[in-house]
Structure 1
């Protein structure tokens, strides 16, 4: 149990657990435009509100504290100014509805960390850092607006200004657009009314179960430290290309062949169908788990193609 919305003829609010035994927080709204203020909520009144909310009139209640807070929606105009970067609550404030705040802050840091590391280790040009704002600002704006609309729908007891975006798509289903992504020529727009992860550049690499080195793992377990190149099981040209490009640029690239045989053996799903490639195709994934580039077919010169892709992303 974590959170419950309580609505009856006398009270409206949200009960949230602290320890799931005997400590709880109860949130109730007040309206300053109607002359209400935090001073109206004495300990006696709060006890009565709680009894009406819980439905037990003889409950022995001990109140630790009574504190006001105001929901805020705010996104910084810029997330970077030269050597200064904003992440988390310094970059964006949002209501707690939906639990997006921590997720968004962690996603900021994840996006920025590998880029900073690449620039500091001279594996990338400093212009790569500009893509932090380009990618995260839009995602943060979408999330803060959605969280505010979600809170509004709760306070107004069902009257909502929510658009048709999907909750999970807002959390992990958005798409990046920047020079750190090699876009595909496509007439289809990215959907936010449902979670749609299919290997498209700019989106998160989708999960699927694999058997790797005798263990059952997710594709996501292979991502996080270096660039990753997913290919089909017969991947010697791509493996050679990645080794040569990695040596030339000084940027590690991990290569995994996926299929019925090879490095990573599929359990149920087909990686070709999930990532929308052929057996000769390849998908390049950044250290933050986002697809940087994809070729659905093979290449006549994998080394030259991969070198151009990596150089375009990093330099």
Structure 2
């Protein structure tokens, strides 16, 4: 039997696990990923990639690749005004009685694609079948050890490591793996979550569903109209129709709505349901796949147990309405990756890892609720629920953290009602365009591999102090004095944040503001040393921010 030692073992090779591997390698941390399936998924499934996730992929050098493989989307309003350009598809959610009705259907949601005021990126529609290979290939290129058709058999936690047994399902060969930490990204039915006896809270199962992948030519019916998702409100066979690619579609429906016809949902039965729902008795259909699944709403009560962490669907699962699931999993992986890197490289204390639970559990629970409310509202047009929905733009980039890794006040909710990015601790840094050696760079792009301190020339003492404090502690930190290493001709930093004279912003490796001071300090190096030690739970310092 082979033996292997690795800093981080990742179990699960979907979007969450693959992105975690990518982000760990981006931080210079070795990792092994095992996935029981033979390859990445061939189903589109999660497709909506929001601007916050695109920021993370942009900082990993993948923005251009993802955009190139995505459907080209335009605002629903422009779609109507321009008369549906044939080379672009609007990201809209429609309510229609059948396929033909889509031409006149009411648009009930129009997530904004224009994020230029808050992000250097824009949302994309890139199916999971396209995004997973992108993440895998880049993670491997950066040095990640990724093994498909390999499954986790068991694991045991010890004081300073986790001992795991994995099996190559092709050869039967087994390997023992000694890892400092384990990330459980093994999906809705997570064996890791079950082994840890971690309970979940939520509405539970919302129903058994079926997804039908089929090929069809709908042009004669749609007459040139195109869309991404359409809610089909046909009383005889309600469901959701989604674009897969140029000539293939996915129709999803709850099985209970068709239980009277029997429990067999084979290809013939599914074809009958699709024809009834879309009212297309004579259009040729080529059924290529039928896949059952269960829609549910649950959030794990703990994201960490010792040296094992849950991420993605293993930690939170909810209806697909809003396209929040994959984004949440990718962002889980990024939040965890930089913190694991900090601890493994010795510039942060073990307690920093507790802030993964503090930050991502609160966000995950509230986003799961937003998804459940969207799903229920779309089905029932419940006005009371509709009033509780928070704009997708706010959910995507406006969430905030209250944790020991943020030096600021705690917030009553993780997702505010309004979008307020003003450089406050716990929020993602506001998107501002600076000039760096003749190139345009966003403030969101600055903090990738370490901390960044931003200040103006009257706060230059903060920059010098930050570099000295970080060098002494071995913390990766870059200080930028606007007007020197970066230029800000419009003084956008002051306008956006209200930063006082001589003030400074400290930005974490995930782009979130960790601390700010609106004025100078008598001893800036001592002040920053205390802040960094506290935020990073460095030995001998209190872990709780004040």
Mapped to 2, the partners of 1:37 and 1:257 lie a distance apart of: 70
Deviation at 1:51, TM superposition (A): 3.8
Mapped to 2, the partners of 1:247 and 1:279 lie a distance apart of: 26
| Residue 142 (structure 1) aligned with residue 385 (structure 2) | no
| Residue 6 (structure 1) aligned with residue 232 (structure 2) | yes
Contact 2:424 2:516 in 1 (8 A): yes
| Residue 196 (structure 1) aligned with residue 420 (structure 2) | yes
Q: Secondary structure at the match of 1:228?
A: strand
| Residue 76 (structure 1) aligned with residue 324 (structure 2) | no
Deviation at 1:105, TM superposition (A): 0.9
Contact 2:422 2:430 in 1 (8 A): yes
Q: Quote the residue 2:242 is aligned against.
A: 16
Deviation at 1:155, TM superposition (A): 2.2
Which 10-residue stretch deviates more, 190-199 or 98-107? 190-199
| Residue 181 (structure 1) aligned with residue 406 (structure 2) | yes
Q: Secondary structure at the match of 1:216?
A: strand
Task: Write the mapping of 1:144-183 to structure 2, written as runs, cut at 5 A.
Answer: 144-157=368-381, 161-162=385-386, 163-183=388-408
Q: Quote the residue 1:308 is aligned against.
A: 530
Deviation at 1:38, TM superposition (A): 7.0
Deviation at 1:184, TM superposition (A): 4.5
Q: Quote the residue 1:207 is aligned against.
A: 431
Alpha-carbon distance change, 276 to 9 in structure 1, aligned in 2, over 3 angstroms = same
Mapped to 1, the partners of 2:256 and 2:383 lie a distance apart of: 17
Task: Write the mapping of 1:16-35 to structure 2, written as runs, cut at 5 A.
Answer: 16-19=242-245, 21-31=246-256
Count of aligned residue pairs for this structure pair: 310
Contact 2:352 2:405 in 1 (8 A): yes
Mapped to 1, the partners of 2:459 and 2:442 lie a distance apart of: 20
| Residue 281 (structure 1) aligned with residue 503 (structure 2) | yes
Deviation at 1:232, TM superposition (A): 1.0
Alpha-carbon distance change, 89 to 38 in structure 1, aligned in 2, over 3 angstroms = farther
Alpha-carbon distance change, 218 to 280 in structure 1, aligned in 2, over 3 angstroms = same
Mapped to 2, the partners of 1:219 and 1:143 lie a distance apart of: 26
Contact 2:402 2:409 in 1 (8 A): no
Mapped to 2, the partners of 1:304 and 1:42 lie a distance apart of: 69
Q: Secondary structure at the match of 1:193?
A: coil
TM-score by length of 1: 0.89
Alpha-carbon distance change, 185 to 79 in structure 1, aligned in 2, over 3 angstroms = closer
Deviation at 1:12, TM superposition (A): 2.8
Q: Quote the residue 2:478 is aligned against.
A: 254
Q: Quote the residue 1:108 is aligned against.
A: 332
Mapped to 2, the partners of 1:123 and 1:36 lie a distance apart of: 62
Contact 1:38 1:68 in 2 (8 A): no
Deviation at 1:11, TM superposition (A): 4.2
Deviation at 1:141, TM superposition (A): 0.6
| Residue 239 (structure 1) aligned with residue 463 (structure 2) | yes
**1 or 2, which has the higher strand percentage?**
2
Deviations, residues 104-149 of structure 1 (Å, cap 9, x unaligned): 1111111111111111111111111111111111111111111111
Q: Secondary structure at the match of 2:371?
A: helix
| Residue 265 (structure 1) aligned with residue 501 (structure 2) | no
Alpha-carbon distance change, 189 to 295 in structure 1, aligned in 2, over 3 angstroms = farther
| Residue 62 (structure 1) aligned with residue 286 (structure 2) | yes
Alpha-carbon distance change, 42 to 116 in structure 1, aligned in 2, over 3 angstroms = closer
Deviation at 1:211, TM superposition (A): 1.2
Which 10-residue stretch deviates more, 9-18 or 114-123? 9-18
| Residue 295 (structure 1) aligned with residue 517 (structure 2) | yes
Contact 1:143 1:171 in 2 (8 A): no
Alpha-carbon distance change, 269 to 235 in structure 1, aligned in 2, over 3 angstroms = closer
Deviation at 1:22, TM superposition (A): 1.5
Give 1:88's match in structure 2, choosing from 298, 304, 312.
Answer: 312
Q: Secondary structure at the match of 1:206?
A: coil
Alpha-carbon distance change, 266 to 236 in structure 1, aligned in 2, over 3 angstroms = closer
Mapped to 1, the partners of 2:380 and 2:374 lie a distance apart of: 10
Structure showing greater relative contact order (alpha-carbon pairs closer than 8 Å, 6 or more residues apart): 2
